[in-house]
Amino acid sequence: MKLRTNLLVGGGLVGLAIVVAILAPWIQITDPVLDANLMNAEIPPGADFPFGTDQQGRDIYSRIVHGARISLTVGLVSQIANTIIGVTLGLTAGYWGGLWDDLVSGVTNLMLAIPSLIFALAIMAILGPGLVSLLIALGLTNWSYSCRIARAQVLSLKSQGYVQAARILGYGDLRIMFTQLLPNMLGPLIVIATLGMGGSILAEAALSFLGLGIRPPYPSWGSMLSEARDQITTAPWLSVFPGLAIFLTVLGLNLLGDGLRDILDPQSQERRA
C-alpha cells in the first residue's frame, strides 16, 4: 500500500509539474514578464487573478507556471551532469582501484563533508548570476552521492561470474565497465538521480532567493520568494504560492524516488515479502 501510494502521489505531482511547464504559454493568463501594471499591484487572489498579483501588478499564477520551466530545467540538466560525473568517477575508481580509487574517494569525502550549496555559492560568486552559471554551479557540486553509490556497486559486482567471463572473452576495461557493470547498477542510480533532482530544485530556489540565481524579471520560484519577503504579512499570497509550488514539486520527486527505491532495491522487496 505504501509503495503504491508513494508512486501514485509522487508520480502525479511530478507529472503535474511537467504538464504545467510544457503548457505554460497556453495556460498563462498574462505575460509573466511584460504585462506589468502598477494599477493592479498586490491584488489579493480572486476571479481575475487566481493567485493574486505582485508589486508590479504581474499575475502570480502566470509567473508560477513559467517558473516551473526554469525549476524543472535546472533540476534535470544539473542532475544529468552530476550523474555523469559521479557515475564515471565511481565506476572507474571501483574497478581500477589503487591510487585512482584513493584520489576519487578523498575528493568524494571532501564533497560530502562540505554542503554542496557552499560550493555552488562560491562558483556563483565567481561566475555571477544567470541560468548558465546556475547550471554550471549545480552541475558540478552534487555528484558525490552518485559516485559513492556507483563505486560501492562496482566493488560488489566486479567479482561476479559474468564479469570474469567477459575478461576471458577479451573485453577491455572500458567495455566491461559500461556494458557489463553499468546496466546492472542502474536501479540505485535512478533513485539517487530522482532524489537529487529535488535537491537541485531546492538549491536553485535558495540561490535565486539570495539573488545569485535567475535574474529578475524572469520568473523563478526562488526569486519570487525573495521579492515577497518584505510583504509576507501585508500580502502573504506573494510567498505562499511560490513556496507551495516548490514544496509540492520536491515532495513529488522525493515520494517518486522512495517508490522507485522500493521497486528497484532487492532488499526492500525482501522486507516487503
Task: Record the cell numbers describing residue 230, joined without a space.
Answer: 518584505
Residue 273: what pLDDT? 47
pLDDT category of residue 102 using cuts at 50, 70 and 90 = very high
Query: What's the rounded Cα separation, in Å, for the pair 209 and 109?
Result: 28
Evaluate whether 205 touches 199 at the Cβ level (below 8 Å). no
Closest CA to 36 of 13, 15, 66, 58: 58
Residue 2: what pLDDT? 56
Query: What's the rounded Cα separation, in Å, for the pair 258 and 144?
Result: 19
Condensed to tens digits (0 to 9), the pLDDT of residues 163-179 reads 888 888 888 888 888 88
Residue 263: what pLDDT? 77
Condensed to tens digits (0 to 9), the pLDDT of residues 136-155 reads 999 998 899 999 999 999 99
State the average pLDDT for the chain.
Answer: 88
Greater confidence, 258 or 13?
Answer: 13
Closest CA to 53 of 69, 37, 70, 71: 37
Helix spans in the chain (H): 2-22, 24-27, 60-96, 98-113, 116-127, 131-139, 144-157, 161-168, 173-176, 186-209, 221-228, 237-264, 266-272
Q: Where are the domains of the chain?
A: 58-272
Number of Cβ within 10 Å of residue 138's Cβ equals 30
Residue 262: what pLDDT? 74
DSSP percent split of the chain into helix, strand, coil, nearest 5: 75, 0, 25
- pLDDT (mean) for 111-119: 88
Query: What's the rounded Cα separation, in Å, for the pair 245 and 142?
Result: 23
Task: Record the cell numbers describing residue 127, joined without a space.
Answer: 561566475
Query: What's the rounded Cα separation, in Å, for the pair 205 and 75?
Result: 11
- pLDDT (mean) for 12-37: 91
SS3 53: strand
Condensed to tens digits (0 to 9), the pLDDT of residues 212-235 reads 888 777 888 988 888 888 888 888
Residue 214: what pLDDT? 81
pLDDT greater than 50 at residue 270: no
Q: What size, in residues, is the chain?
A: 273
Closest CA to 153 of 194, 173, 183: 183
pLDDT greater than 70 at residue 267: no
pLDDT greater than 90 at residue 92: yes
pLDDT greater than 70 at residue 268: no
Residue 261: what pLDDT? 78
Residue 271: what pLDDT? 47
Query: What's the rounded Cα separation, in Å, for the pair 85 and 97?
Result: 17
Fold topology of 58-272: MetI-like fold (1.10.3720)
pLDDT greater than 50 at residue 78: yes
- pLDDT (mean) for 46-66: 92
Greater confidence, 3 or 162?
Answer: 162
Task: Record the cell numbers describing residue 147, joined without a space.
Answer: 559516485
Residue 257: what pLDDT? 86
